[in-house]
Amino acid sequence: MMSIMTDMQPIQKSEAEWRKELTPEQYHILREKGTEAAGTGKYYHSTETGMYHCGACGAALFSSDAKFDSGSGWPSFYEPATPDSVKLTQDDSHGMRRTEVTCGRCGSHLGHVFDDGPQPTGKRFCINSLALDMKKG
Ligand code: FE
């Protein structure tokens, strides 16, 4: 069966390729699972309308419609653009049990998801600004 979601064809690149394409700051978040300092990201307070894309591969990840002010210091969304936009994985690093959020298309690290978000989902996708590329519209 032909897939109509050509945007979601998996992307696999070597770390050397990602390093060439991304800034050092983006690379640290997206490929080394880094976390930007709270309150420093350029999208934290953004209320502009549009789509937040993966900063590595450009896949559509989160609509501004699902963005809310969590007070956490990071851009927060209550749902991804589609269920396949992101992949969720248990993350036991740093002495915590969390759920890591990665790009469904290229596997790059985006942030974590928590169960203290608003309705209708009750989820809080806590995402690094440096992992995102917002396109207005
Ligand atoms: Fe991606």
- Give residue 30's Cα distance to chain centre: 9
Q: What distance in angstroms lies between residue 132's CA and the mean position of ligand 1's atoms?
A: 9
The structure's pTM equals 0.93
Condensed to tens digits (0 to 9), the pLDDT of residues 55-114 reads 999 999 999 999 999 999 999 999 999 999 999 999 999 999 999 999 999 999 999 999
Decide if 54 is catalytic: no
Condensed to tens digits (0 to 9), the pLDDT of residues 38-68 reads 999 999 999 999 999 999 999 999 999 999 9
Catalytic residue among 54, 57, 106, 126: 126
Q: What distance in angstroms lies between residue 32's CA and the mean position of ligand 1's atoms?
A: 14
Q: Which amino acid belongs to residue 51?
A: M
Largest CA distance in the chain: 45
**The domain 39-136: what is its CATH number?**
2.170.150.20
Contacts of 67 (CB under 8 A, 6+ apart): 46, 47, 52, 75, 76, 77
Q: What distance in angstroms lies between residue 94's CA and the mean position of ligand 1's atoms?
A: 24
